[in-house]
Structure 1
Amino acid sequence: MSELQAIEPETAIELYLNHRETEVADKTLENITLHLTRFREWCEQEGVDNLNELTGRKLHEYRLWRQKDVARTTLSINLSSLRMFLQWCESIDGVPDGLHETVILPSRDRSEEARDEMLKADHAEQMLQWLRKYEYASRTHALLEVMWHTGIRKGTVRSFDLEDFHPRNKTLETNHRPETDTPLKNGTRGERVIALGDHVVDVLKDYIDIHRREKTDDYGRKPLFTTRYGRIGGTAIKRAVYRVTRPCQWESCPHNRDPDDCEATVDADACKCPSSVSPHPVRRGSITHHLLKDVPDTAVSDRCDVSKDVLDHHYDQRTEHEKAETRRKYIDGI
C-alpha cells in the first residue's frame, strides 16, 4: 500500500480539472468544476485542509450537507463527479485506496428528470406526415426529419455546415469545431459520417434550394440550418421541436383542453403542452426505434455517438418482452 502524500483540496481539484480538460467537452468540464467547488466549500467549512484525512464517515457528512440544497437527481450527479475525483486522487496517493467506493449514489428520481420521456414512433410518424403535407422542406421539417432519422444531439444538429451535407453520397458529416463555437459533446470521438435515407436527402435538398436563408455565421462558415441572424441556436431548435410535437397539430387534444383557452396553442408557449417534448426525447425515441427495427446495438452506438453502456442504461426504452422478441429473430433456426 502506497504512503499517502498530503494535498490540499483546492490543489487536488485544480490538478484534476487540468487532467480532465483534454478528455471532456467544455460544458462537461464546467459541470464538474461546479460540483467540486461545492465540495471544496464544504472542506473549508469543516476545516479539511488535507484530503488524506477523508473517511467514509466524513464523505457521508458531506452528502448530508449537500442534499439539503439540491434535488435527489442533482445530488446523484454531484456525488458521481466526486466519486470520479476521489478515484483519481487514489491514483496520486492523495486519499486512501478504495475511498471512492464509500460514496453511495442515491437512485435518481426518474419522474423528476423524465429519464424515460421519449417521442414514440407512432407520434413521430404522425408529426412527420403532418410536416410533409403542411410545411414541406421548411427548416423545421428538415430539422425533424434529420433528428428522427439519425438520433443525433441538438448540439450536433446546429454544428452542421452546408458542406457537411453530401447529397450524392447520401451522408451528413459531423465535425468537432470548438474554436468556432460548434463543439461536439464527445469531441473528435464524435466525428463520423452518417448515412441518410433517400427521403431525408430529398427533404434537405429541397430545404436548401427553397427555404434555407443564405447566411454565414460569425466565423464566416455557412451553416446548414440558418436563421435571419446566421447559425441556428439551441433555443430555436428546442422551440421548433416543442411546437411540432404538440399532438393537437395532427389530432384532437388528448388532454381535453379547449384550443381557444389552452396557453400551449401559442407557439412561444408550446412547451406548456403536457405532451410536447424537447429535443432529447426525440433522440431517445429515435434510438429506441432503431433498436426495435433490429438495427444492431453496435451500429446504433456508432451512428448516434453513444457508448454501449449509456445506450443500455439511458436510451434503450424497449420492454423486456420487446428485447426478447428482437433476440428471437437472431436465434430462430439455430
Structure 2
Amino acid sequence: MQRLCYGAVRLSMSGPRKLTPREAWHRYLNSRRTELTEETASTYHYRLKLFTEWCEDNGIETVAELDGWLLDQYESFRAGQNIASTTIHNEMETLKSFVEYLERIEAVDDDLGERVNVPDIPRGERSRETKLSADRAIPLIQNYRNDDTLSGTRSHALLETAWHTGARLGGLRSLDLRDFDREERTLEFVHRPETDTPLKNKNNGERIVGISEQVSKTIVEYIQSDRWDKHDENGRQPLFTSMQGRPSSNTVRIWMYMATFPCLHEECPHGYEKAACEFRCHSKSSQCPSSRAPHHVRTGSITWHRDRGVPKEVTENRVNASQDVIDEYYDKASRQERMEQRRRPHLHKLDIE
C-alpha cells in the first residue's frame, strides 16, 4: 500500500490568510500525518476534498473568506444531496477539526470553528445494525469443521479467527505466521506501519489474544494444507496469503464475503441455484443478501462474547475497543436477547426464599 500524497506544502510569504482552500487542505493533512492511520487519513482526505471543491466552485479563493454563513451554506449543500445523516455528521465533524487548525495557524478569524455546526443524530442511527449473528455464525463454523472438503481451508481459518478474536480487517491482514503460537494457542497483533500493516489504534492496538484448541487446530490445518507459502514485498510471511503474498484489504473483505455464504451449509435462503448464482464470483460476492464483511463479523463476534458472559474488561482487551465504543457501535443484542441471555440467569440471586 502506498501512502497518500497530499501535495507539496509551500511556504506562503504573504501569510496564512492567503492560503487557498486547496493549499490549506493539504497542509492540514500533512500536519496530522504522524498521528493518523492511513485509513483514517484517506477518509479525511476525501471529506475535505469535497469541501475544497465546493469552495473552488463558489469562487472562494482564500480561507480568510470563510465565515459562519459560508460554512452553513456548505452544510445545506451536502444535506440537499440526499446523503445519510451519519455521513453529514462525520463530514462536518472533520470540517470543524480542519477549521480549528486554521484558527491555530491564524488563517481564519478566531472562534470560527465554533460556528461549524455538527448536526446531532439519534444514538440509534450512529451505527449499522448489520452483523453476522451467532445463529448464523455457529452453524457455518460447525459445517466447516465437519465437512472434509471445507475443513482447514483459508475461508474456514479466516472465519474462525475473525469470529473468535473479534479482530478488525486490518488486524486479520496484519497477522504473520510468527504471530501464531501453536503451543500457547495465541495470536499476537502487532503494529508494523513501516512494512504496510498498521493497526487502527497503533501501539495501543497491540495485544496477544488466546484462542481455543479447536481454533488453533483449524489454523494449523490451514497452514499445512491450504496456505500459499509466500512472502510479502517486505520479506514477511503473512498468515493469510494470496498467490501474490499479503492480500490487500479489499481482497480480505471479498474472502470474508465468500466465507459467509449461507449456501455453504444449507439451501440458498434466497431461492438461487448454487451452480448458476452470480453472487458466487469474486466481483459480486458482496451483493449476496446474506454474505457479510469483516466488520459485520466483528460486530457479531463482540455481541456473542457479551452474550456468552465474557467479562467486559476481557472483551475490551480481546477486540481492542473501549466499553463505550462496544456499547454504542458493536454490541447489537436486542433488548429481549439481553434479558434472556444475560439477565435471566441471575434472577436466582434475587430469590427471597
Q: TM-score, normalised by structure 2?
A: 0.81
Q: How does 1:16-95 map to 2 (within 5 A)?
A: 16-44=28-56, 45-47=58-60, 49-51=62-64, 53-55=66-68, 57-69=69-81, 71-72=83-84, 73-89=86-102, 94-95=108-109
Which whole-Å deviations, capped at 9, do the CAs of 1:136-172 have from their partners, x for residues lacking one?
Answer: 1112111111011111112211111111111122111
Root-mean-square deviation (CA, aligned residues, Å) is 3.1
Distance in 2 separating the partners of 1:228 and 1:47? 49
Query: Which residue does the alignment assign to 1:234?
Result: 249
Distance 2:116 2:344 in 1: 41
Q: Does 1:202 align with 2:217?
A: yes
User: C-alpha offsets along residues 190-233 of structure 1, whole Å, 9 cap, x if unaligned?
Assistant: 11111111111111122222332222111111111122222233
* Worse-superposed segment, 168-177 or 96-105: 96-105
Instruction: Determine the C-alpha separation between the residues in 2 that align with 1:328 and 1:95.
Output: 57
Greater mean deviation of Cα atoms: 237-246 or 85-94: 85-94
Q: Offset at 1:123?
A: 0.8
Alignment of 1:244 onto 2:259: yes
Partners in 2 of 1:115 and 1:184 — Cα distance?
Answer: 22
Aligned with 1:253: secondary structure? coil
Q: Decide which moves more: 98-107 or 303-312.
A: 98-107
Q: Deviations over 1:254-287 (max 9, x none)?
A: 2233445532355664333211112211111111
Equivalent-residue separation in structure 2 for 1:178 and 1:330 (angstroms): 45
**What secondary structure, in the 3-state scheme, does the structure 2 residue paired with 1:201 have?**
helix
For the pair 1:103 / 2:122, whether they are aligned, the reply is no
Distance change >3 Å, CA 317–CA 305, structure 1 → 2: same
User: 2:142 & 2:246 partners in 1: Cα distance?
Assistant: 27
**Structure 2 unaligned spans of 5+:** 1-15
**Which residue matches 1:298?**
313
> Which AA in structure 2 matches 1:246?
F
5+ residue gaps, structure 1: none
> What letter is aligned with 1:281?
H
1:182 Cα deviation from its structure 2 partner: 1.4
Distance 1:298 1:98, change over 3 A: farther
Q: How many pairs align?
A: 328
Matched letter for residue 262 of structure 2: P
Q: Kindly indicate whether the alpha-carbon contact (under 8 Å) linking 1:241 and 1:277 is maintained by their aligned counterparts in 2.
A: yes
- Matched to 2:95, the amino acid is L
Find 2:174's aligned residue among 133, 152, 159.
Answer: 159
Whole-angstrom distance in 2 between the partners of 1:259 and 1:211: 23
What is the TM-score with the length of structure 1 in the denominator?
A: 0.85
**Is the contact made by 1:86 and 1:95 (CA closer than 8 Å) also made in structure 2?**
no
SS at match of 1:185: coil
Indicate which of 129, 150, 161 corresponds to 1:116.
129
Distance apart, 1:85 and its partner CA: 2.5
